[in-house]
Amino acid sequence: MSLVSGPGRGMASLPADACLHVDKHVNYIQSLDTRKDELEYWLTEHLRLNGLYWGMTALHLLGHPEALPRHGILEFVFSCLHESGGFGAAPGHDAHMLYTCSAVQIIATLDAFDDLEAHMKDGRQKIAEWIANLQDPETGTFAGDEWGEKDTRFLFNAFLSLSLLGLLHLVDVDKAVQHINSCVNFDGAYGTSPGAESHSGQVYTCVGALTIAGRLDQVNQEKLGAWLSERQLKNGGLNGRPEKTEDVCYSWWVMSSLAMINKLHWIDGEKLTAFILGCQDPDLGGLSDRPGDMVDVFHTHFGIAGLSLLKYPGLAEVDPVYCMPRDVVHRCLGR
């Protein structure tokens, strides 16, 4: 499975009877690993494991979890696993927090922790320890890999993965919460690090981590809700920060954050639904960043997840924190 763009383009304008082309999207996602003669396939090898998570999750939300073979998915995921416990983007790639998080999400969705243990003895513990060893004991934040780049994305990935593994206690949660609090800005939103510009993607990671930690009390929810609601533009789409264009992926980053603070009703859901549907390729499937552009599995996933948050008919319910089917999250967390 690869994040390979095209073929196809989103609709330039939205027909009055626009609907979600479920079968087309299923076929599009199924095709992604068959186009190995395309340059895009090889240029996106560094996104292979993420792309598998995006495509598989979209299929589950579309109500077609069987559309990709379970055995084939797990075979590829385990081929990316290092002895250290981290996962790379593809076989032979260095282990990184981003790919490890996608791997854990896939394993959890497929209820495959027993398969993991059969593949690697004490695999769950090794993955958790690899993640925990990337926490900075002084600041509480996390590096993405052994080379040391730090970002609130990696902190969130760590919390999400460890909570699904049932081993969040291996890290200093309070120290991490302190770091998140140092990343909040005057507008109530969050950046990648202290003093960095507010961005919707980082809001999702910070608020998501605080939700997992049970510390939403640390969020100025009125101020943050106002900033997030201002991300909606006249065409119904959402942007990631002020003065930027709309993009389907922010249907997830913005709305999931609003959902976590119970302010999803602060945006116009009907206009956003119309915008997302207008980004479909009605002939070949897939969604693009905005109407008329090339489709890819990244925007397909987050567009469908956004529609699920909007309770679009026929879609499985997505969890706003974990970006996985809600019933899977409840199973993993014992709710």
Q: Answer with the residue of higher pLDDT: 196 or 15.
A: 196
| pLDDT above 50: residue 150 | yes
Q: What is the mean pLDDT of the chain?
A: 94
Residue 318, strand partner residues: 325
Buried residues in 118-144 as b, exposed as e (16+ CB within 10 A): eebeebbebbbebbbebbbeebbbbbb
Three-state secondary structure call for residue 185? coil
pLDDT given for residue 258 in this prediction: 98
Average pLDDT over residues 41-58: 90
The domains located in the chain, with CATH, are 21-333 (1.50.10.20)
**For residue 196, is pLDDT > 90?**
yes
pLDDT, position 15: 53
What's the whole-number mean pLDDT along residues 195-223?
Answer: 98
Confidence check: pLDDT of 332 > 70: yes
For every residue of 99-150, DSSP letters joined together read: HHHHHHHHHHHTT-HHHHHHHSTTHHHHHHHHHHTTB-TTT--BBSSTT--B
The H-assigned helical ranges of 190-296 are 200-213, 221-229, 250-260, 269-277
What is the model's pTM? Answer: 0.94
